Amino acid sequence: MKKKNNISQTTSNEGGKTVNSYLADEEKRRKIRRHRAIKDSMARYGVGAGGGGVVVVLTLIFVYLFIEVLPLFTGASLHESKNYSIQVEENSDTYMIAMERYQELAVKFASNRMAIFFETANGKVRHKELLPIPPDITITSFGKAEANTGVVVFGLSDGRALVAKHDYDLTYPDDKRYIDPKIVYPLDGSAVVVDNEGRELKAIAVQKSDNGIAIAAVTIDDRLLLVLYRSEESFLTGEVEVAREAFELPSPPKSIFKILVDTTTKNLFIADNAGNIHYYDISEPDDAVLIETVSVLKNKNSSITAVDFLLGSVSLIIGDSNGNVSQWFLVRDEKNVHHLTHIRDFEPHEAAVVAISPEYNRKGFVTGDNSGIVAIHYSTSNNTVLRQKISDRPIKDLAISPINNALLTVDIQGNAKNYKLTNLHPEVSTSILWSKIWYEGRSKPEYIWQSSSATDDFEGKFSIIPLAVGTFKGAIFAMLFAIPIGVMGAIYAAYFMTPKLRGVVKPTIEIMAALPTVILGFLAGLWLAPFIENNLPAIFSIITLTPLVILIFAFLWYKLPSSWKYKIPSNGLEVLLLIPVIVVSWWIFIKISPMIEVTFFDGSMRQWITGIGINYDQRNALVVGIAMGFAVIPTIFSMAEDAIFSVPKHLTQGSLALGATAWQTVSRVVLLTASPGIFAAVMIGLGRAVGETMIVLMATGNSPIVNFNIFEGMRTLSANIAVELPETAVGSSHYRILFLAALVLFALTFMVNTIAEIVRQRLRKKYSSL
């Protein structure tokens, strides 16, 4: 920018003489002044806006992470959108209602042999279908398989059963979705024989397994029957053949409330009217046995009023006439025998629980009771996210939409209500994240992180504990390694080393801080881990014996004739003398390592360790400790050195003048004064170790385990984010939990750094006042 452009040369006539003045005339000056003022204020506001904006963006990080996490802890809500009554025929009983995926249609199965598809918005009947049951035969029982299969079964008075499935065809005429409902009959298109004797089936259950359909039924004369239909595709023709096998199972109970078969067709449960569940092992249907009969009621004077499987048919949800809701599943004991075990109770209802409707893709369920109250629960987290009175009459049945965003309720008079449901993250609660949880199929409550699996009916296990333990395990081993080297090195560099050497050594160590951790991780995982595995004795001798070697060398040096010592000055240069000593001693340790293994550990220390009952992973906490320690040493060293170096000189000089030795001065004066600074250095090092990602990702097996064994790996919060976040669905609970992990990391390191910063500032003030 040239000034001359602004100030033009003017010529004025003063006292008859022509004078060249470099000052602009007044109007121009005013203009320039205004111009400058505008520029000045523009700069002010520009910088203010830009700089303030940057600060705002930085705070946005915290705010955004928080916003992403927040929905995890908000509850569910129900909004009534429609209220109508559906057709209830005289003398007919509604067995079940269910909704399809788009919540446009619902189906009702009733005892008058009708399947009615109606619109959920207004109850208008879209399609009616008469089930293929002869008029002289009556339906005597009803059962349903897992909700997402859509399969139901009707037990008939002639010992036969009709398996039906509600299904929907989607078409898009004129780019608009049209749903065409239908009923299909998976087995032969008509009723199949269950009881060869043709007696009435008083209770029935159906389940769809991977390769077929299982029907269990009890006849009026108390025989428990099991019929398995297995479909097998012929290799040659590609035709599907259905094979039927029928079995009679032993000792059925007398008064049956409900039968349930799980999807593996290995377990069968019968709930009786006396409040017992009878558990049969039917994995070998020929030798099926009644394993046990368990009383599931809290009060003897109540009875089971509703029971159903959760998704995956592992857990039973039982509701009783007192309003209690509880979860039970099979737990294996030491003898490998399964027992039906009470897992947890949910918030009880006031009246008898009469309807239970499991979610289609999660381990949640909806319960309805006789006083018209509906509650939404989630099993794993023991969350009752919502409870609402929706009717004055008892609930007849509930239908939750397959994607959990709508709820259809019907009371005993046929009044239907259609609700919009918002229930995004019921599987997350504080207890899920931080307490032991009894997961399905486990023998006891545990801390587990297992976020995904190949199957749809998987129960997400989101305990933060294994990750937090892993994070601290890695950080602790790293600090154990880094603190002695970093702090002691700093003491030496700041106080004993010659200034010239210090000028070389300090930048050398500091450049380490800029070393990409991915390189450290790669070396740790591919070079150090196998090296340590093959040379375990060497590593342990290096860790334990190196100080001894240093002391021995120092003593020998002390005993050296003084004429020698004059030739090689050692004060301030000990570090150089020690480098060859350390290199040589380490080399010797590595060379004799195999001999130590042969002599003391039967040839292999690794196997010896496994032999005494300690697990050994190749990529373990020891490797991480060394590699991550290496990454934080420069941080600790540099900051501790600064703190020690800037201890005011008159303090040390005073101490020395009073006759204290150099070491006494260091240990009693310098270190005491600088200790807050050293503490701050350690804190910042810790913050770095806690958040380090690449080293732990590459140098451990990333298995989320809860222990502090130095020979096993771990999974840290940060590595877990790096592994799982790219693969999770946006907005899912898992996604938000990973954001929570990031928020926790953020808050943790931020706090640690703030403490360190405050300590440092105080120290600076103290130094300046000394």
Partner 1 sequence: MKQWFKSGDPWIWLNAGALSIGLVMVMGLFLLIAIRGSVHFWPADIVETIVIKKNGIEKKVVGELVKSEVSTAVVMREAGYKIPENVELVRRYLVKQGNKDVTGRDFMWYLEDHMGEWKYPKNLVVLERREWGNFYGYPLKLIENGVVVIKGDEIWPELAARIKRSNRLFKKIKKIEKYDIGDINRQHEYIRLEQKKLAIEENLSPDQRKIKHEKFATILENMNIIFASHQKQLDQIRKDLKRDILIVEIMDGSTVEIPLEKIVRFARSNNMNIAAKTGYYGERLWEYLTEAPREANTEGGVFPAIFGTVIMVLLMSILVTPFGILAAIYLHEYAKQGPLLSLIRVSVYNLAGVPSIVFGVFGLGFFVYFLGGNLDELFFPEKLPAPTFGTPGLFWASLTLALLTLPAVIVATEEGLARIPVTTRQASLALGATKAETLWRVILPLSAPAMMTGLILAIARAAGEVAPLMLVGVVKMAPSLPVDSYFPYIHLESKIMHLGFHIYDVGFQSPNVEAARPLVYATSLTLIIIIVVLNLFATSIRNRLREKYKSAGD
Choice between 246 and 554, CB closer to partner 1: 554
Give the shortest CB-521-to-partner 1 separation in angstroms.
7
669 binds partner 1 (CB under 8 A): no
598 binds partner 1 (CB under 8 A): yes
Of 563, 561, 565, 562, the C-alpha closest to 574 is 565
Select the span of 5-13, 174-182, 280-288, 571-579 touching partner 1 (CB under 8 A). 571-579
Residue from 64, 73, 587, 600 binding partner 1 (CB under 8 A): 64
Select the span of 105-113, 243-251, 454-462, 723-731 touching partner 1 (CB under 8 A). 723-731
Distances (CA, A) of 286 to 226, 245, 253: 10, 10, 19
- Distance between start and end Cα atoms, the chain: 49
CA 713 to chain centre: 18
Describe the chain by its helix, strand, coil percentages, rounded to 5: 40, 30, 30
687 binds partner 1 (CB under 8 A): yes
List the interface residues with partner 1, window 21-60 (CB under 8 A).
36-37, 39-40, 42-44, 46-48, 50-55, 57-60
Select the span of 201-209, 246-254, 455-463, 719-727 touching partner 1 (CB under 8 A). 719-727
Site map 697..716 versus partner 1, x via CB under 8 A? xx------------------
Residue from 509, 588, 706, 710 binding partner 1 (CB under 8 A): 509
Max CA separation in the chain (angstroms) = 140
372 binds partner 1 (CB under 8 A): no
Choice between 198 and 507, CB closer to partner 1: 507
User: Does residue 98 contact residue 82 with C-beta atoms inside 8 Å?
Assistant: no
Element of type H or E holding 521? helix 517-523
List the interface residues with partner 1, window 529-548 (CB under 8 A).
534, 546-547
Rg (the chain; Cα; Å): 39
List the interface residues with partner 1, window 68-87 (CB under 8 A).
68
Residue from 184, 480, 551, 560 binding partner 1 (CB under 8 A): 551
Residue from 19, 23, 519, 568 binding partner 1 (CB under 8 A): 519
Residue with tokens 């240069």: 573
Give the shortest CB-77-to-partner 1 separation in angstroms.
24
Of 127, 124, 105, the C-alpha closest to 116 is 127
Select the span of 193-201, 334-342, 392-400, 596-604 touching partner 1 (CB under 8 A). 596-604
Choice between 51 and 445, CB closer to partner 1: 51
Residue type, 436: K
DSSP codes, 531-583 = HHHHTHHHHHHHHHHHHHHHHHHHHHHHHS-HHHHHHS--TTTHHHHHHHHHH
Residue from 594, 646, 669, 679 binding partner 1 (CB under 8 A): 594
Site map 472..501 versus partner 1, x via CB under 8 A? ------------xxxxxx-xxx--xx----
Backbone angles phi, psi at 640, to 5 degrees: -65, -40
Give the shortest CB-264-to-partner 1 separation in angstroms.
35
Give the shortest CB-594-to-partner 1 separation in angstroms.
5
Of 162, 144, 394, the C-alpha closest to 259 is 144
- Determine the angle formed by the axes of helices 465-491 and 671-691, rounding to 10 degrees: 140
Neighbours of 228 (CB within 10 A): 20
221 binds partner 1 (CB under 8 A): no
Residue from 154, 360, 449, 739 binding partner 1 (CB under 8 A): 739
Rounded CA separation 208/215 (Å): 9
Residue from 397, 440, 459, 692 binding partner 1 (CB under 8 A): 692
User: Does residue 471 contact residue 621 with C-beta atoms inside 8 Å?
Assistant: no
Residue from 110, 115, 277, 505 binding partner 1 (CB under 8 A): 505
Strand ranges of the sheet holding 267-272, from the earlier edge strand across to the other edge: 256-261, 267-272, 276-281, 289-295
733 binds partner 1 (CB under 8 A): no
- How many residues make up the chain in this entry? 770
